[in-house]
Amino acid sequence: MVGMNKSRPLIGISCCRKNFGIFQAPNHAASDTYVRAVDQVVHGIPVLIPANGADAAIDELVDRLDGIMLTGSRSNVQPSLYAGAPLPADMPEDAARDGVTMRLIRSAIKRGIPVLAICRGMQELNVALGGSLHQRLQDLPGHIDHSTPMQENAAIRTGLAHFIEILPQTILQDLVGSHRLAVNSLHNQGIDRLAEGLVVEARALDGTIEAVRGAFAGFVMGVQWHPEFDFMTNEISRSIFARFGDAARARYIPDT
């Protein structure tokens, strides 16, 4: 970074390992919605973090970043990381991503780097700090189906699906100004045993943990829904990214 004039914070965005094209070649990918949220609301410079597993130089990477966004994904956190039962064949995993994000989270928190964890990202946050996951919420007694409606209509697929109850004296209550919020819902897994160092911010009406924050120094927030889908039209979604951006800007020191 020597000799560079850094006018905006660098925001790392976690990628997944996915196969694309007619030859199904492996790629590192993150949805455009996350990049646009960093560009337009966080007002940072988006930096895609490849899912290169053990090859990732995590500490050197984190030393260069001012904030980290952990993205959602169709893949699931490996159950071996939280002593869970093997996943069925129709629930994909991404070991290369897990090999990056587990270390990335711990390194970022140790250094006080702001973290915003979304959907799979919130599950990774919990597992990286010692928590565990429910693998299929819809199989639990008294729980609703939180999974994605599999249809082409994006307005329905990513639309508001259920309410969450927001706990008092939380970041989310400060942003929302109310104890209840309607959110979208596109996940099978959810937090089971909450990791030490995380505090519940909100729950779905069936008890599922929907938002958490870090109880340690620095900004760490996780949400189980997807604010990146509607940040252009939803004030609350936009405010989540804006608060993360404030934390990233408060931390970084521009090069001179």
| Catalytic-role residue among 124, 201, 210, 228 | 228
Catalytic-labelled residue, pool 15, 16, 119, 124: 119
How far is the C-alpha of 114 from the C-alpha of 244, rounded, in Å? Answer: 7
Tokens of 13: 């965005």
93 in catalytic set: no
**Residue among 140, 138, 163, 139 nearest 148 (CA):** 138
Residue 226 appears among annotated catalytic residues = yes
Alpha helices by DSSP H, listed for 89-234, are 95-111, 120-128, 154-157, 171-176
CA dihedral 93, 204, 138, 123 (to 10 degrees): 10
User: Would residue 60 show up in a list of annotated catalytic residues for this protein?
Assistant: no
Question: For residue 160, which amino acid is it?
Answer: L
Q: Which residues fall within 8 angstroms of residue 251, CB to CB, at 6 or more apart?
A: 9, 66, 67, 112, 113, 114, 218
Residues 134, 146, 187, 226: which is the catalytic one? 226
Alpha-carbon dihedral angle through residues 132, 135, 139, 145, given to the nearest 10 degrees: 100
- Active-site positions read 119, 226, 228
